[in-house]
Structure 1
Amino acid sequence: MQPSVITHLRCPVCHGPFTAAERALRCPQGHSFDIARQGYVDLTAGRPAHTGDTAEMVAARAALLSAGHFAALTEAVTEAVAREEPGLIVEVGAGTAHYLAAALTNESVGLAVDTSKPALKRAARASERIGAVRADIWQGLPIADHAAAVILDVFAPRSGAEFARVLRPGGALIVATPAAAHLAELVDALGLIRVDPAKQERLHKSLDPHFVPSNARTIRAPLSLSRADALALVAMGPSAWHTDPAAIKEALAKLPTPIATHLDVDLTTWRSR
């Protein structure tokens, strides 16, 4: 793991700084955390509330993103990050670190945070400038106060208090959330989980005590999917936990190809109060 990333990490037990040892991170109090062979380090301070995406979900996400179907969102996130001062970019719920890797510049380093070990194995390889850490945002991020120039949250859980602690003065919290019509055609055809009508209300409830929105836009882009693409899209998201793969395949077989749907995503930049 790159030293410039380790500098910003803190021990989840005593909150002391780390130094790199042989295949491990150690704090002054003697707490030691092994760096996995795949390159990530587990800094959970206990059992995470959720173990995150499965290997199958991560593989589906990697396939869909690498095919460029979410390119419009990737470009929008990259543009939003480019407007900020360089430094540490933290992506929470990073998955494969696709968005983080795209947004990095030569002046920045990245930290991918997730609870999914299969995701972190990929995130650690996404860029030599990215460190990957297993941590649960609800238990607290193992990151120094005011260390991050940018925090990315793309379809991921949000803790306003913890984001406010980690973000440096003048930094940016960039949040992507699905809008009402996100993938609507596919949702209707396959009976997938719909976007919560109260999603924006919940977003503001979690962030308003600590942040104010400074910039907002909606990314809308058409998608033209093969049946394999559509199956991957279902398998990578929350519907994967609540649908029968065999029934989804049967429903997809009845749809004409290419399958037309569209992205509808709200992207908002927030500043500390």
Structure 2
Amino acid sequence: MVQARDAFQSRGHYAPLANKLAEIVRGHRESSSLDLLDAGAGTGYYLNQILGASNASYHDALALDISRYAMRRAAKLPHTLALVWDVWRRLPSADASRDVVLNCFAPHNPAEFRRVLRDHGLCIVVTGEPDHLNEVIEPLDMLSVADGKLASLVEKFDANDFQLKHTEQLTYQMDLNTEDLYNLAFMGPAGHHLQPEKLRNKVQSLGEQRVTASFGVHAFIPKA
């Protein structure tokens, strides 16, 4: 699954999302330093884009993920400590030690996000929208995204001393070949249930597809 994710992301299909995250971080606060925590970092793709686009002269990044294979890749990023970690646990970072917490397609732990975030900090949460990948969800036996997530997300973060600063939907079309489709299915939450040979046959029968990418990008700040 990690190899599939790395292969898919390296093709640039999620680059618009990575660029959007880097833009939000740059626009939040100009500073000579950036202390960042990525909770559920995967291979560190989004973290790497943010670090590369930052104007800060000093960076300290902490990448956390339950997959040791993903963390081996993230550990190669500059200025990054990568730890195999369950984000439901107490996070391995001091109180008020981070300028940015990133949480992309991963479990939310808003109480811990608030503890490690500085008062001027920013927590960015990325979720899939209901129309995300809707052209291939059924034929590739992938999991769909439930509607109405934003209200429950805001409620959960509000209860942990956050307020929603900004939210937007990022939607665009991706032209995917059969290898992209194979990797896309395997990198998702249902990937470990899929049979490789059966999936190969399915993507070959589908052929190249134009597929919708649709993300909710939600920026939270600590309450005043």
> Does residue 85 of structure 2 align to residue 141 of structure 1?
no
Equivalent position of 1:83 in the other structure: 27
Amino acid at match of 1:230: L
Equivalent position SS for 2:58 = coil
Which residue of 101, 105, 116 corresponds with 1:155? Answer: 105
**Distance verdict in 2 for CA 1:197–1:83, change over 3 Å:** same
> Does residue 179 of structure 2 align to residue 228 of structure 1?
yes
TM-superposed CA distance for 1:249, in Å, is: 1.8
Equivalent position SS for 1:137 = coil
Equivalent position of 1:47 in the other structure: none
Equivalent position of 1:15 in the other structure: none
1:212-246: CA deviation from partner (whole Å, max 9, x where unpaired) = 11011111111111111110011111020333333
- When normalised by structure 1's length, the TM-score is 0.75
Gaps of 5+ in 2: none
Identity value in percent: 32
- Structure 1 residue runs of 4 or more that deviate by more than 4 Å after TM superposition: none
Q: Distance in 2 between matches of 1:180 and 1:132?
A: 31
1:36-77: CA deviation from partner (whole Å, max 9, x where unpaired) = xxxxxxxxxxxxxxxxxxxxx111111111110101101111
> Does residue 12 of structure 2 align to residue 94 of structure 1?
no
How many residues end up aligned between the 2 structures?
Answer: 215
Which residue of 71, 92, 100 corresponds with 2:15? Answer: 71
Q: Distance in 1 between matches of 2:43 and 2:130?
A: 25
TM-superposed CA distance for 1:198, in Å, is: 4.3
Max radius of gyration: which structure? 1
2:177–2:207 Cα contact (<8 Å) kept = no
Gaps of 5+ in 1: 1-56
1:214–1:271 Cα contact (<8 Å) kept = yes
TM-superposed CA distance for 1:107, in Å, is: 3.2
> Does residue 168 of structure 2 align to residue 217 of structure 1?
yes
- When normalised by structure 2's length, the TM-score is 0.91
Q: Distance in 1 between matches of 2:84 and 2:176?
A: 32
2:28–2:122 Cα contact (<8 Å) kept = yes
1:101–1:130 Cα contact (<8 Å) kept = no
1:82-141: CA deviation from partner (whole Å, max 9, x where unpaired) = 1133420110100111111110133332111112110111001022x1111222221210
TM-superposed CA distance for 1:201, in Å, is: 3.8
Q: Distance in 1 between matches of 2:115 and 2:164?
A: 17
TM-superposed CA distance for 1:189, in Å, is: 2.6
